[in-house]
A = this chain, B = another copy of it.
Amino acid sequence: MTTAVSPLSRPFPELPVPAGVRIGVARAGYKAWDRADLALMAFAPGTAVAGLTTRSQCPSPEVELCRLRLPAGRARALVVNAGNANAFTGAAGRAAAEAQSAEVARLLGCPAGEVFPASTGVIGVPLPTGKALAGVAAAHAALGEATLRDAAQAIMTTDTFPKGASADAMLGERRVRIAGIAKGSGMIAPDMATMLAFLFLDAAVAPGFLHELLASANARSFAAITVDGDTSTSDTLLAFATGTAGNAVVDGWESPGADALAAAVEDVCRKLAQLVVRDGEGARKMIEVRVSGAVSDASAHRVAMTIANSPLVKTAVAGGDANWGRVVMAVGKAGEPAERDRLSIRFGGVEVAARGAVVPDFCEAPVAAHLAGDEVEIAVNLGLGNGRATVWTCDLTHGYIAINADYRS
């Protein structure tokens, strides 16, 4: 089990706790880790919530509780357990998740339906109720003492660094702030959301519109990253808007600043998603795959994800090999409209193949130099239409095998 920090890590940004949010962390002791593994956040009354959860057919009870509670659109608390995913644990796991929510509700004096739970870690072991309740009590007693960095650290599992991002937007004359944290390193091919990501807004936003903003941002961020093509049972993306900024409630595209808010939400989601890729298990290079010239954006996305999930493309990048033949292979297998004789491929801006063959007088040196860096760009033009998409992934290295062939359940 590697414990070294990813070479692609980024320092945690300056991220003040948003108004209307209080954070406490505690050590529930789900694992032998000598660190906090439970984060509790309490929100001001009236906080709006929106969220997206995994499309996995085998979701955790926490995901099911979030799904049940999201339609009402109101949140007073978020509680996150790290080290135990509580997934596939039957009635015992469901009871533990409900008991923890109920305890949070009791401590905060709010309905259990306004508590949003999430758990991440090993699958198949029921969340130990005693630890879960004692952890919540300790975190509640410490509310207000922790920072977003503390929370980002408490929710890590195989992550090697805490992940945070922020953005501002002007709503008319009023500046609002969005802060976000995320965790994720393996089992990353989010289908609607990443393993766990949480956004906190001080803006007042109607829950329905917050959902719209989040879904659109998700499509171009968490739904556009992959580490290993494996989708977690626990993927959860939640946004909490406390309304403490004092703006008029944003409830549609005609509200002042709605576009700026949408851009800021997407900005935070994209930064967090890229940080998850940067902490991909065993990652040594970050890969941006851009596909253009597809028959539609959706088609471009599927081609890009097929390239990004190809173990042969990912190992070629790991080896610094400008093996565009493997990119051709991945385009060919994607099952989307593509014509060999219209296809062109660039690595780091240098055209290597065009119209069905390698470019004449192809010189590998500048491409090899690009591939030696830790940010690799693969651009494919299908030459068929105007569809385009960008996705992010990481290379596939011995580190991934070492982490996952040794990690015991």
A residues lining the B interface (CB < 8 Å) = 54-59, 85, 87-93, 122-126, 186-187, 189, 191, 228-233, 309-312, 315-316, 318-319, 321-326, 328-341, 343, 353, 355-358, 396-398, 400-402, 404-409
Contact = CB atoms under 8 A, between A and B. Distances in A.
A124 B88 contact: no
A338 B230 CA distance: 17
29 contacts: A55-B335, A56-B332, A56-B333, A57-B332, A57-B340, A58-B343, A85-B325, A87-B325, A87-B328, A88-B356, A92-B357, A123-B329, A124-B353, A186-B312, A228-B311, A229-B311, A230-B330, A233-B329, A311-B311, A311-B404, A312-B404, A319-B404, A319-B405, A319-B406, A323-B407, A323-B408, A324-B409, A396-B401, A397-B401
A28 B233 CA distance: 52
A315 B229 CA distance: 14
B356 A325 contact: no
A55 to B, nearest CB: 7
Contact of A338 (B58, B92, B93, B326): B58
Contacts of A59: 332, 340
A97 to B, nearest CB: 14
B328 A88 contact: yes
Contacts of A311: 228-230, 311, 400, 404
A231 to B, nearest CB: 4
Nearest to A404: B315
Nearest to A396: B401
Given A88-B356, A409-B322, A233 B328 contact: yes
A91 B54 CA distance: 46
Contacts of A339: 57
B90 A123 contact: no
Nearest to A313: B230
Given A331-B57, A340-B57, A124 B87 contact: no
Contacts of A228: 311-312
Contacts of A186: 312
Contact of A57 (B232, B309, B336): B336
A231 B123 contact: no
A59 to B, nearest CB: 7
Given A325-B88, A329-B230, A316 B58 contact: no
A281 to B, nearest CB: 9
Contact of A328 (B123, B400, B407): B123
A233 B405 CA distance: 30
B323 A409 contact: yes
Nearest to A303: B57
A-B residue pairs, 7 tightest by C-beta = A123-B325, A90-B357, A58-B332, A56-B332, A319-B405, A231-B333, A315-B404
